[in-house]
Structures are given as structure tokens and as C-alpha cells.
Amino acid sequence: MTENNSIIKVKNLKKYFSLKSGFISTIVGKEEKFVRAVDDVSFDITRKKIIGLAGESGSGKTTTGEIIALLQKPTDGKIVFNGKKINDLSGKALVEFRRACQMVFQDPYETLNPRFTVRRSIEEPLLINGWGNENKRFEKVKDALERAELRPAEDFMYRFPHELSGGQRQRVAIARGIVLDPVLLVADEPVSMLDVSIRAGILNLLRKLRDNMGLSMLYISHDLSTIKYICDEVIIMYLGRIMEKGPTYEVLSQPVHPYTKALIASVPVSDPDVKREEAEIKGDLPDQIDIPEGCRFAPRCFSANDRCQSEEPELYSIKKGHQAACFLCEPK
């Protein structure tokens, strides 16, 4: 993977949230504790590709997306956008990055101002960036609505969020995300709040936007079925670390890490004759403050041995582009 082919390069990314100590703890000098939400994560987002970020709640996938969109500051690590480090952007440089990178959130009703019409919601980024005059902004909003497949655009311009269906609200949120013609879109669980019957339409829309606009995307979801449908590559996260990553078809059809296998086994299959490998998980997600030593998945893994309890595995290469953090994959 070449530098020129990557729009975003994430290297050793960390995000630790400090837990506030009480007065007594401070006096006796107890060690400060942290929630290690993202812990030494590295990956690339290549041009015109959709990269999936998957895992259980608490895996760190949403925090990773927000850091990439510069909605949170990393504790450590490096984020490179188009060849330039962007960790500490401010002023004009930050404004320019925000034009290039937009985010679509999980709940469109929460992210749309209920007192704004559809036109005003989509026009807001243009107004903030001083883009064009009123007539040009009108045409730009109309174009964004058309690209989000809300047609004819004039029928939606002056509606309020409560007058729209859930799918229509998410399309408005997507239209707002693309109105500035970004090159990178971070989509955080964009279909999880929608009825199953309309999810495919939103996923197809995102793929069309990638093809027609040349967008790169980071698609965050706990739903492996939507990951399989839309993503070119997938990254499986657990307790802030990457467990497995590679081409989506390969990772989901030939999983190597026990955690990946367990996630896939939990996805319902409509065909009762389909036989799948059993892959169970023991217990519940560990406390994110007291991360287990060694492999952090070991306490829940049926394949774990003594080494797993004391050493943390690195990402081993399975084949080109496919890696897994498991001693089962260690080269002999």
C-alpha cells in the first residue's frame, strides 16, 4: 500500500480517558487509572475504498472514528491526511480539514435541529464556510438532496425533521455531509436506527456516493451483515485493539481469530441447512479500566493457553493484506 494511495494513515493511535480520583485517593497517592478506549491502533484508509470498523459495544470503534474526524484529540499516535500530520490542526488548517472530512451519525433525529428546515440544515455548512451567495447555496443544497435521492428536492426543502421518516432524515444527514464535496466520510452506525426494510437503500446510496464522488469512507458498525454488504476491507476491534483485519470477503469467509469467528457465528442465517463452525465466547466484556494481561480476549477465549494469559500477540500476517492478533497465526 503506497503513501499516495492512502488518504488517511493512522499509526499507533491511542485514546486514554483519565478517571477522576477522589480526595482520599489523591492524598494517599494511588495510581491514576485510565480507560484505554483505543490502544495502539494502526491502519490506512485508501482512496475510493470503504473500510469497515466492527466490534462489540466498548471496542473503541466509535472513538476511533471521532478521532479521525478530529472530534476528539488522541492521547498518542499519528494521523496523516493526504501526507500531512493533522493531530494538532487549528485555525484555517482545521477549517479546511473539516470541509474535506465529514461525519454521519447514528441517530439522524438527534443530529438535525428540529427548528431548522431541511434546506437550512443542509445549508448550515455552506454558511459556516462562507460558500457562495444565496442562489448558489440554494442550487448546492438542491444538488445534495438529489444526490441523496430525495427527489424532487423542492418537495423536501421546507419540511422539518418531524415531517420526515427515519430513512428520509438519514438521507438529509447524508446530504448535509456531502454538500461541501468532502473526500472522506466517517459513517457511524448510519443504519442501526432504521427499519430493516430501508437499510439496503441507505447502504446502496453510500456505495453510489463512493462511486460517483470518489469518496473514501470509514464505516463503523457492530452489524457484520452490513459490513459484508458495503465494505471493501474490515477491521475487527476488541477492547481498543485490532484483532483481525483484511479484505472483507476473506476475513468474513475465512476468519482466523477466535473473536472474529464468534462474531460471525452470532449473526443469524435464514437457511436452516447452512452449517457453521461453532465459536462461543465465555463470560462478559471485561472491565475497560482493568484490561486483562496478555491477550485481552484470552479470558473469554476457548482456545487460550498459558502464553495467551501473559503475552499480548502482535498482528501476524496470514496472507497479503490479511492479519490477525493471535498466537495461532504466529509463523512457525
pLDDT in tens, 31-79: 678 889 999 999 999 999 999 999 988 899 999 999 999 999 999 999 9
* pTM summary value: 0.91
What span, in angstroms and rounded, lies between the C-alpha atoms of 273 and 289? 42
Helix, strand, or coil (residue 160) = coil
Mean per-residue pLDDT, 225-237: 95
The label of the residue with cell 471496542 reads: 59
Residues in Cβ contact with 214 at an 8 Å cutoff, skipping those fewer than 6 apart: 47, 48, 183
pLDDT of residue 196: 85
Instruction: Tell me what the pLDDT averaged over the chain comes to.
Output: 89
Please state the φ and ψ torsions of residue 42, each to the nearest 5 degrees. Answer: -135, 135
CA distance 86 to 94: 8
Q: At residue 240, does pLDDT exceed 90?
A: yes
pLDDT digits (tens, 9 = 90+) for 206-220: 999 999 999 999 999
> Are the CB atoms for 205 and 151 separated by under 8 Å?
no
Nearest-10 Cα torsion for 273, 279, 282, 285: -100
What whole-number distance in Å separates Cα of residue 217 and Cα of residue 32? Answer: 36
Say yes or no to pLDDT of 1 above 50. no
Residue 5 is predicted with a pLDDT of 84
What is the pLDDT confidence band of residue 2, given thresholds at 50, 70 and 90? very low
Q: Do the Cβ atoms of 158 and 119 come closer than 8 Å? A: yes
**Proportion of the chain above pLDDT 70, given as a percent:** 91
Euclidean distance between CA atoms 190 and 88, whole angstroms: 28
Residue among 179, 184, 164, 198 nearest 86 (CA): 184
CA distance 71 to 62: 11
Eight-class DSSP state of 282: -
Q: What are the pLDDT digits (tens) for 267-309?
A: 766 556 556 565 667 767 777 788 888 999 998 888 888 999 9
Least confident of 49-53, 112-116, 201-205, 267-271: 267-271
Q: So what's the pLDDT on residue 274?
A: 58
Of 104-108, 116-120, 225-229, least confident by mean pLDDT is: 104-108
Nearest CA to 191 out of 209, 167, 218, 217 is that of 167
Q: What are the residue ranges of helices labelled H in the chain?
A: 23-28, 61-68, 91-100, 108-111, 118-128, 134-147, 166-178, 196-213, 224-230, 248-253, 258-265, 306-310
CA distance 14 to 9: 14
Helix (H, G, I), strand (E, B) or coil at 49: coil
161 touches 112 (CB < 8 A): yes
Residues 8 and 135: their CA atoms lie apart, in Å, by 34
CATH architecture of 3-269+276-329: 3-Layer(aba) Sandwich (3.40)
Phi and psi of 13, rounded to 5°?
A: -70, 135
- Of 68, 63, 72, nearest to 81 by C-alpha is 68
